[in-house]
């Protein structure tokens, strides 16, 4: 969507690219890292998560992700730009989406079962009380199962007489919203681990942290249960799902952000700004706060909407990026370059801020979302979209540095 660059592509290529970008940068990346967190937090909390179920879930997710990528690289299939879960009408995409969903649901169920058995057995009550990240990922797992139930119920009950595109929007609306509880829970779990490891600090009122996390659960379950009383087409327009999602996330996540920032503010000095775990977490705080404010200012159907989305998605992504060097160390590996690891979160975060600022600026001057070309443009909007383009280059550089620096060591044998 950057001026001049857009002339290298066609409108159909833009729609395929946008659909694949959102699907992989948002859905696949987030649920894949949630799988990592269920394993790591389960180990950290003393839960015995089934290895067989975890390996099966990973295999299904890998196969599904690979299949979903095929239509984009073949430039085939019709894209549908639904909110939260855009899709490509292609057999490979649908097959891959189902495999990915089954794999993630299996891993979520395995984690919930392990956590539940530990609590029922009474052997891990103390660990559970001292591990709010364990509760956070349990809320995330519950959200995955509620989302899966919403997808299935909506698919079974959607009116076959409505147009296919509208039916797709109705089917993915609720489940896509409910998945936001997983993403926020995973981000908060990442924050909690980062504060504990990088600073030896944590929000002091652990019971309050657990209570705030627990408030997410009824909202996620209620959003899924809504499909038992309302048809998907009605829920698409009556705002109930939106109210439950953003009401629940606002009640739980915003106070937790303030508590996390307070823990940093009261931590011993000097702060470890050279640590990717700490630096990435601080940038995550910043993006979450700015993205949240953008969601409250001029939130209409223009590029201010993706400006807000990129803040929230970037916050989750930075929380996950920050944890990766720590997780890599548990496998006996190290990043290719410690220097890269230190500056990468800041470069990626700066790029996201450029994207957000540019899109918000352009949207305030009439730039429509999900639109190819610039026939609508004025000078102010073009300035904003060029700023977005510069931010995109920085974010791409930061993302590529992350993939190479953290991904390449995974192909090396450990000693």
Q: Is the CB of residue 50 less than 8 Å from the CB of residue 115?
A: no
Q: Is the CB of residue 128 less than 8 Å from the CB of residue 159?
A: no
Q: Which of 251-265, 281-295, 309-323 has the lowest mean pLDDT?
A: 251-265
Q: Helices 379-407 and 338-364: crossing angle, nearest 10°?
A: 160
Res. 205: pLDDT tops 90: no
Res. 127: pLDDT tops 60: no
The predicted pLDDT at position 129 comes to 44
Indicate the DSSP class of residue 198: I
The predicted pLDDT at position 352 comes to 98
Res. 128: pLDDT tops 50: no
Query: 154 burial class (0-12, 13-18, 19+ CB within 10 angstroms)?
Result: buried
Indicate the DSSP class of residue 367: P
In sequence order, what are the residues at sequence separation of 6 or more whose Cβ sits closer than 8 angstroms to the Cβ of residue 64? 95, 96, 97, 98, 99, 100, 101, 102, 103
Output the average pLDDT for the chain: 91
The Cα–Cα gap between 58 and 99 comes to 10
Taking residue 300's Cβ as centre, other Cβ atoms within 10 Å add up to 9
Q: Is the CB of residue 108 less than 8 Å from the CB of residue 179?
A: no
The predicted pLDDT at position 214 comes to 93
Q: Is the CB of residue 105 less than 8 Å from the CB of residue 145?
A: yes
- Across the range 100-124, mean pLDDT stands at 89
Q: Is the CB of residue 331 less than 8 Å from the CB of residue 414?
A: yes
- Across the range 352-372, mean pLDDT stands at 91
Res. 163: pLDDT tops 80: yes
The predicted pLDDT at position 365 comes to 87
Q: Which residue has the tokens 């649920």?
A: 31
Q: What are the residue ranges spanned by the domains of the chain?
A: 10-268, 272-415
The predicted pLDDT at position 328 comes to 95
pLDDT tens-digit series, residues 269-304: 889 999 999 999 999 999 999 999 998 886 677 899
Q: Are strands 87-89 and 78-80 parallel, antiparallel or unpaired?
A: antiparallel
What confidence tier does 202 reach under pLDDT thresholds 50, 70, 90? low
- Across the range 116-131, mean pLDDT stands at 65
Res. 346: pLDDT tops 50: yes
Helix or strand run (H / E) with residue 152: helix 132-157
The predicted pLDDT at position 170 comes to 95
Please state whether the peptide bond connecting residue 342 to the residue before it is cis, i.e. omega within 30 degrees of 0.
no
% of the chain with per-residue pLDDT over 90: 71
CA angle 107, 112, 114 (to 5 degrees): 95
What confidence tier does 336 reach under pLDDT thresholds 50, 70, 90? very high
The Cα–Cα gap between 258 and 249 comes to 14
Q: Is the CB of residue 143 less than 8 Å from the CB of residue 183?
A: no
pLDDT tens-digit series, residues 66-98: 999 999 888 889 999 998 999 999 999 999 999
The predicted pLDDT at position 412 comes to 86
């Amino acid at each position: 969507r950057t001026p001049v660059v857009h002339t290298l592509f066609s409108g159909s290529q833009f729609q395929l690219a946008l659909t694949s970008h959102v699907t992989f940068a948002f859905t696949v990346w987030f649920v894949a890292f949630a799988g990592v967190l269920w394993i790591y937090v389960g180990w950290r909390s003393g839960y015995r998560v089934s290895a067989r179920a975890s390996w099966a879930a990973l295999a299904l997710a890998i196969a599904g992700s690979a299949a979903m990528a095929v239509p984009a690289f073949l430039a085939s299939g019709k894209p549908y730009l639904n909110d939260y879960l855009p899709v490509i009408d292609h057999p490979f995409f649908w097959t891959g989406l189902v495999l990915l969903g089954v794999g993630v649901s299996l891993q979520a169920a395995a984690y919930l079962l392990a956590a539940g058995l530990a609590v029922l057995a009474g052997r891990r009550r103390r660990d559970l009380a001292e591990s709010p990240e364990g509760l956070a990922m349990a809320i995330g797992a519950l959200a995955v199962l509620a989302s899966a139930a919403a997808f299935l119920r909506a698919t079974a009950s959607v009116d076959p007489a409505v147009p296919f595109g509208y039916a797709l929007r109705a089917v993915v609306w609720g489940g896509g919203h409910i998945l936001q509880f997983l993403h926020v829970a995973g981000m908060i779990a990442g924050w909690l681990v980062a504060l504990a490891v990088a600073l030896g600090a944590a929000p002091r009122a652990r019971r309050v942290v657990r209570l705030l996390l627990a408030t997410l659960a009824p909202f996620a379950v209620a959003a899924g249960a809504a499909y038992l009383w309302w048809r998907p087409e009605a829920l698409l327009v009556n705002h109930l799902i939106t109210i439950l999602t953003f009401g629940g996330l606002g009640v739980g996540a915003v106070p937790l952000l303030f508590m996390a920032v307070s823990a940093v503010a009261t931590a011993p000095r000097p702060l470890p700004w050279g640590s990717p775990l700490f630096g990435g977490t601080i940038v995550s705080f910043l993006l979450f706060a700015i993205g949240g404010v953008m969601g409250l200012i001029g939130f209409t159907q223009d590029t201010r909407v993706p400006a807000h989305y990129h803040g929230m998605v970037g916050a989750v992504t930075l929380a996950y990026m920050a944890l990766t060097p720590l997780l890599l160390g548990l496998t006996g590996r190290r990043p290719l370059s410690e220097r890269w690891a230190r500056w990468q979160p800041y470069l990626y975060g700066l790029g996201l801020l450029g994207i957000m600022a540019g899109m918000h600026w352009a949207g305030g001057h009439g730039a429509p979302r999900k639109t190819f070309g610039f026939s609508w443009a004025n000078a102010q909007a073009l300035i904003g979209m060029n700023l977005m383009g510069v931010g995109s280059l920085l974010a791409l550089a930061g993302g590529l540095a992350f993939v190479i620096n953290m991904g390449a060591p995974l192909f090396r044998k450990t000693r």
